[in-house]
Amino acid sequence: MNTLAFCRNVDTLISRALRGFYIEKQEKGDTVTLIRLHNSRKFVEKRKAMNFLDRALNKIGYVRSVSVEQKGSAKEAASTIIPSVRVNNDTALKFTAVFSAIRLRSENIASLPKRVFKETSNGKVADLKHPASIVTRERPNGYMNVFTFWEYLNACLDGWGNAYALIETDGRGYPIALHPLHPRDVSVTFKDREKYFKVSATGFSGTYVDGEICHFFSLSNDGISGINPISYNADAIGLGISATQFGKDFFERGGNIKAVMESDKAVDQEVFERLKTQVRSNHGTPILEDGIKYKTVGIAPEAAQMLQTKLFSIQDISRIFNIPPHMLADLSHANYSTVEQQNILFGQYSMRPTVKLYEVELERKLFLDTEDYSVKFDLKGLMRGDSQARANYYNMMLSTGSMSRNEVRVEEGLERVEGLDEFLVALNMGKNDGKTKQ
């Protein structure tokens, strides 16, 4: 049997025995050909098998790899309308509005309760023992706590538009750890209707298929990966950075002059030195002589414009990250009633889409095909209104028999009390089945 025929037989055996692997055939003078195989999710078994496969294929001129292209949206640095300002993810974080926006969203995502539910004939039942529940709400891996894990993931999502978590599974295919990967260390491509990830991070380097990595991304222009919000909005962020730099330079150069002393005639050196000594030694108004007048100076127009520009920059950052301006300390158009309503809108229109983004990807990657589970991030704490609104809501739910009194206590973070699990129904609500009290 010649070498080419032997290689073809190897291809056939691999296709049948090892599903989920991707290899390239390299022959002298030939182009590289990608052999596409079926996707598999068993992380540990695949790695052991591929180590053996690499040693065997290297002897016959095969190299296992996949061609991965860097997406344009992954570029971090971007030029702006201000040539002296170079905006990238590191410089953008030094702008307080960007730092505050990313921190605010990330801390809120990390603090939300997370549950894994199993679909049953009686509805959804929380399953706290499922491996997916453990890695999402208790212990994602051996070196990070659950708050830090989600805070880091969302910081990557908001800062780079993409967040990645490598799924480590046991021999049965259940997740045992989630390893976060920095977006700088991951390249994404789409080829032959499959998505691939090339990872360069120490300890995790290699090429992975879609089922091995949870890929969370926000707004996208190709449906494969997210765009970088920092580089796409470099002009707006750069303007804010420039305003901050201008303020720093303005005050360093003594731009904050409060007053000047002027005279209609020339002042000799002796009088000048005497006035200078008085000004330096007296914290109050100095004693003037020889027709010298003290004249206050208002804020310079460029300084006033700087303050307005900084205010506009905060509003720009609010739009980019979908955060109410008052959460970034812009209270120019805020009052008590509007702030309370905007807090609820923050949960509805900023956090809820992000939460859904996480939920659908986790449900797609962390469970076996035969399982009927769902992942939920609890947003009730963010979106509930004031005490009067909650009281009216609970009263309605209790009177219609939709909630028990203990369920209301749980919603409010209180302990259950014996005897409050029965459902109450008003007399005019109709039939009583004997299990409810009128």
Q: Which residues of 365-395 are buried (b: 16+ CB within 10 A; e: fewer)?
A: bbbeeeeebebbbebeebebeeeeeeeeebe
Nearest CA to 233 out of 89, 83, 72 is that of 89
Q: What Å distances lie between residue 335 and 154, 321, 339, CA to CA?
A: 30, 22, 6
Q: How far apart are CA 364 and CA 277, in angstroms?
A: 76
The distance of Cα 418 from the centroid of its chain, to the nearest Å, equals 42
- 103-113: pLDDT as tens digits: 999 999 999 99
Q: What Å distances lie between residue 1 and 4, 5, 161, 302, CA to CA?
A: 8, 6, 52, 83
Span 17-24, mean pLDDT? 43
- 396-430: pLDDT as tens digits: 899 888 899 988 887 776 778 888 988 887 776 65
- Per the CB < 8 A criterion, the answer to whether 141 and 149 are in contact is yes
Judged against a pLDDT cut of 60, whether residue 364 lies above it is answered with yes
- 156-203: pLDDT as tens digits: 999 999 999 999 999 899 999 999 999 999 999 999 899 999 999 999
Exposed, middle or buried, 113 (CB in 10 Å: 0-12/13-18/19+)?
exposed
- Per the CB < 8 A criterion, the answer to whether 178 and 141 are in contact is yes
Q: For residue 273, what are its two tokens?
A: 């030195």
Judged against a pLDDT cut of 60, whether residue 284 lies above it is answered with no
CA angle 173, 218, 107 (to 5 degrees): 85
Q: How far apart are CA 349 and CA 337, in angstroms?
A: 18
Nearest CA to 354 out of 48, 150, 199, 76 is that of 150
User: Which pLDDT band holds residue 242 (cuts at 50, 70, 90)?
Assistant: confident
Give me the pLDDT at residue 243, please.
Answer: 78
- 289-339: pLDDT as tens digits: 667 777 766 655 555 566 677 778 888 999 999 999 888 888 777 776 677
Q: How far apart are CA 222 and CA 226, in angstroms?
A: 8
Q: How far apart are CA 177 and CA 179, in angstroms?
A: 6
